[in-house]
A and B are shown apart, each in its own frame.
Chain A
Amino acid sequence: MIDTLPPAVIFILGALIVPFIRGKWKRAYLLLLPVVGFINLVLTPEGTHWTLHLLGYDLVFGQVDKLSLLFGYIFHLIAFICFLYALHVKDDLQHLAGLIYAGSALGVIFAGDLLSFFIFWEMLTVSSVMLIWARRTGASVGAGYRYLLVHAAGGLCLLAGIALHVNQTGSLEFGYIGLSGLGSYLIFFGFGINCAWPLLHPWLTDSYPEATITGTIFLSAFTTKTAVYALARAFPGTGALIWIGAIMTAFPIFYAVIENDLRRVLAYSLINQVGFMVCGIGIGTALAINGAVAHAFNDILFKALLFMSMGAVMYRTGKINGTDLGGLYRTMPFTCICCMVGAASISAFPLFSGFVSKSMIMDAAAMGHMDVIWFVLLFASAGVFHHAGIKIPFFAFFSHDSGMRPKEAPLNMRFAMGIAAFLSVFIGCFPQYSLYRILPFPVHYVPYTFPHVLGQTQLLFFSALAFTLLILSGIYPAEMRAINLDIDWVYRKGGRIFYSLMNWSLNGLNRVSEQVFMKGITGIAARFARDGIARLALLPFVTYWYMKGIRFKRLEIKKASLYYNLAGGVIPAGIGAAMAALFLVIIFLLS
């Protein structure tokens, strides 16, 4: 029996105390919680812990092995950095959501059964959407709803898949699943939505740039990386992932080149980086899986660093569009340097963290003789430097002088960025003493060989040359105040078209029905019920009177008298009795 707690519990229960603490104690508490969690994790040995027997199934809250531990470490680390960065925020909702979000991610990572996995998976969505809504703008509310709907659909898909899978195998255990049968495909697809696969991706680029300044840092770290973990656990070596990943690396960079909102540029580059991980998981060799999860580890740090630097710019200037920014290196040098460290890391410059992980995936593709894939990945490597490596720092901190002279980022933000920047450089310089020690498979990979360093440096420097030449020649597309359509058009405009169509058809049907039934047939029936009998009765009587030679005024008087008597129900008693007798005679004769 061990004395440690499930990592998720520390964060989720810890979150509930936040509203009851005030001031500096709250700030200390927020920073302490990830530290306590981390110590707890370090003390937890590998193996299966915290099993709960429920309804004939075993719920496992602690599937602790090298794969889950790696994600556990980085999630604690980034949670600390995120809370440090968000320390000035006075909004309890965001702190609560952040803690529950991080806790849910840890719950997913250490879940050993599909039921608790699913529950934490759904908690991820519910808690993270609060970080979007907490911005409290119209755009963020809309983006949050779309985010929620897409993830709800993905969650249902996953749930259906889990139900089928458990029914088929009779086991709730969360381990290797592989593609076989409908259930596994549904699970695969459910993971894919959180992983932002091509065509399933627009929830990410739609919502992340609308979240709060500090919320985006949380968002960039957890959702997609838990999906990467889930894929690495359940679908390693699945061939489809190679192509899905390769497409993910390539298509977002075209969007990133023409996008004006710099946080949205980063959102596109997030998809691009996750593509490398997905591709690595698809290749499935020990080197590729090592590369994929190592890249996830590094990406969490450098992507957070880039988002933090843009967040600091946004915090100080209130602006985030490339058209509004420029020249900020003058008064925000520290943020600028951190941003450039993040840019160098994501671009995989030698001595920065991306270099030691991305190249593992590239080499795994090369060893598998995947020519086209390798070319696409190389293209994406050049492209990511182009848009995230150069464009982000250039348009925010250099380029034309926007005239703004904002203050440097607040101290807590600088510390958070500083830690992430330091780690990115440290891992890049000494991978064998840090990252390579915690990878799931033994590492024999040597990133720093002369040809490799030279090749990568050439690739990046000449990508930069392309940027320089295109900027100087004026061909580089100017940043524009515009939006770029993506696949979310299908449900954003398509949803409205569907609504209009339904409005036109169903409400049209409603209107026609009202005309026909409410006003038409009902009216006729009502009129008939009112005086229909009287009018019918007039017919034989008037014919009879006419034949008897009654004309003109006398006829009119007789008609009116009969009509009012019948319609008013005041027929003379004799006629009524005669009619009743006649009725009885007819009945008698017919029976």
Chain B
Amino acid sequence: MKVKAPGSESRESSQDSKKYLFDNPRNIKILFAGYYSALGILLILDFFVHKHAHFQWAEWPEFYAVYGLVACVVLVLAAKYVLRPLVKRREDYYD
């Protein structure tokens, strides 16, 4: 298979001084501001929805928001503190 020599383009332009979208801290601030306000709007909208879920708990206020947040925190903590210590090995483990 022919694959072009990797990394050849990267070296030549590492001194590249062009400013890109998120090199400007202001843009990151705008992104975060937009994101946090979206979270707020989603929480507020929840009170204007007529829910008819198959499960009772899915009708609790802000169920999906809380579940999404909690589930992902649990996921990451379990992966980091339980799974990784059990399964992590050096890269040459099988060599």
Is A257 in contact with B80, judged by CB distance below 8 angstroms?
yes
Q: Which residue of A lies closest to B1 (CB)?
A: A91
Instruction: Find A404's partner among B10, B42, B52, B94 (CB 8 Å cutoff).
Output: B10
Query: A404 → chain B, closest Cβ, in Å?
Result: 4
* B22 touching A461, Cβ below 8 Å: no
* 0/1 interface trace, chain A 85-122, chain B, CB 8 Å (1 if under): 00011110010000000000000000000000000000
Q: How far is B39's CA from A212's CA once the two chains are assembled, in angstroms? A: 41
A407 to B16, CA, bound (A): 13
Cβ contact within 8 Å between B72 and A461: no
Complex contact B79–A258 (CB within 8 A): yes
CA distance A386 to B14 in the complex (A): 31
Task: List the B side residues contacting A91 at CB < 8 Å.
Answer: 1-2
A47 on the B face (CB < 8 A): no
Do A382 and B83 touch (CB < 8 A)?
no
Give A476's nearest chain B residue, CB to CB.
B76
Is A588's beta carbon under 8 Å from chain B? no
In the complex, whether B75 has a CB less than 8 A from a CB of chain A is: yes
Binds B, one of A28-36, A48-56, A302-310, A312-320: A312-320
Q: A134 interface residue, CB < 8 Å from B?
A: yes
In the complex, what residues of B have CB within 8 A of residue A558's CB? none
Measured between C-beta atoms, what is the minimum distance from B16 to chain A in Å? 5
B54 and A369: CB pair below 8 A? Answer: yes
Contact flags A475-492 to B (C-beta < 8 A → 1, else 0): 111001111111000001
Contact flag A383-B72 (CB < 8 Å), given A405-B16, A462-B65, A465-B39: yes
Q: Are A482 and B10 in contact (CB under 8 A)?
A: no
- The answer to whether B49 and A451 touch across the interface, beta carbons within 8 angstroms, is yes
Q: Which of A5-13, A280-288, A416-424, A452-460 has 4 or more CB atoms under 8 Å from chain B?
A: A452-460
Chain B hits for A523, CB < 8 A = none
- Give A363's nearest chain B residue, CB to CB: B54
Q: B21 to chain A: which residues have CB within 8 Å?
A: 329-330
B10 and A253 contact, CB distance less than 8 A:
no
Docked Cα-Cα span, A135 to B1, in Å, equals 7
Question: Which residues of B have CB within 8 Å of A463?
Answer: 68-69, 71-72
Question: What residues of chain A lie closer than 8 Å to B78, measured between beta carbons?
Answer: 254
The A-B contact count (CB < 8 A) is 188
User: A457 — nearest CB in chain B belongs to which residue?
Assistant: B42
If A212-B1, A451-B51 touch, whether A466 touches B20 (CB-CB below 8 Å) is no
Q: Which of A90, A366, A461 makes the CB contact (< 8 A) with B53? A: A366
- B38 — nearest CB in chain A belongs to which residue? A461
Say yes or no for A470: interface residue by CB 8 A criterion. Answer: yes
Which A residues lie within 8 Å of B20 (CB)? 329-330
Question: Quick one: closest A residue to B81, CB to CB?
Answer: A477
The CA of A1 and the CA of B11, in the complex, are separated in Å by 62
A23 adjacent to chain B (CB < 8 Å): no
- Verify B6–A318 contact, CB threshold 8 A: yes
Contact string, A260-273, partner B, CB cutoff 8 A, digits 1/0? 00000000000000
CA distance A475 to B68 in the complex (A): 18
Most buried by B among A253, A386, A460: A386
A366 and B54 in contact, given A90-B2, A255-B83 (Cβ under 8 angstroms): yes
List 25 A-B pairs, Cβ < 8 Å: A88-B2, A89-B1, A135-B1, A258-B79, A258-B83, A258-B87, A314-B6, A315-B4, A318-B3, A318-B6, A329-B22, A331-B13, A366-B54, A369-B54, A450-B49, A454-B64, A455-B63, A455-B64, A458-B68, A460-B68, A461-B35, A463-B72, A470-B76, A482-B90, A485-B86
Inter-chain pairs besides A89-B1, A451-B51, 13 sampled, C-beta below 8 Å: A88-B2, A255-B83, A255-B87, A318-B6, A319-B7, A363-B54, A366-B55, A374-B54, A462-B39, A477-B80, A482-B91, A484-B83, A485-B93
